Amino acid sequence: MRTASPIRTTPGGVRIDIRVIPRASKTAFAGLRDGRLLLRVTAPPVEGAANSAVIAAVATALDVPKRAVALIDGDSSRNKSLEVAGVTEAVVRQRLGTQLTTKV
C-alpha cells in the first residue's frame, strides 16, 4: 500500500499517480485508493480508449490542453502515472480539492 502523495512536483510540472476504473457509468474523480487518485472513466480498456479518456479527464479537471498531459507509466495497467506540464502542485491540489482527501 502506498502512503506517499499521488501528486509530486517535477521540473516541468507535476506527476500524478492514478488508479483507473474503466467502463464506469460516468467519468469522474472518486477520491483516493491505495495512495493513488481514483478516476472512473466510461471508456473500455480497449485500443487505448481508456488512456485517451484519462488524459482528457485530467486535462479538463486541471484546465490545461490535452497535449500538456502525458502518460508516463501504466499504458496497459489500471495504475498509471501522468505528467502534466505547465501547472504547479498547488494548482492541482486546488482544482482537485476534496478528491485528494476522500479515501475509498
Which grid cell sits at 56? 482528457
For the chain, list the domains and their CATH numbers: 7-98 (3.30.1200.10)
For residue 2, what pLDDT is reported? 47
- pTM (two decimals): 0.90
At what angle are helices 49-62 and 89-96 packed, to 10 degrees?
Answer: 100
Nearest-angstrom CA–CA distance, 26 and 67: 23
Residue corresponding to grid cell 501522468:
82
For residue 98, what pLDDT is reported? 66
The model's pLDDT over 82-102, given as tens digits with 9 standing for 90+, comes to 999 999 999 999 998 866 666
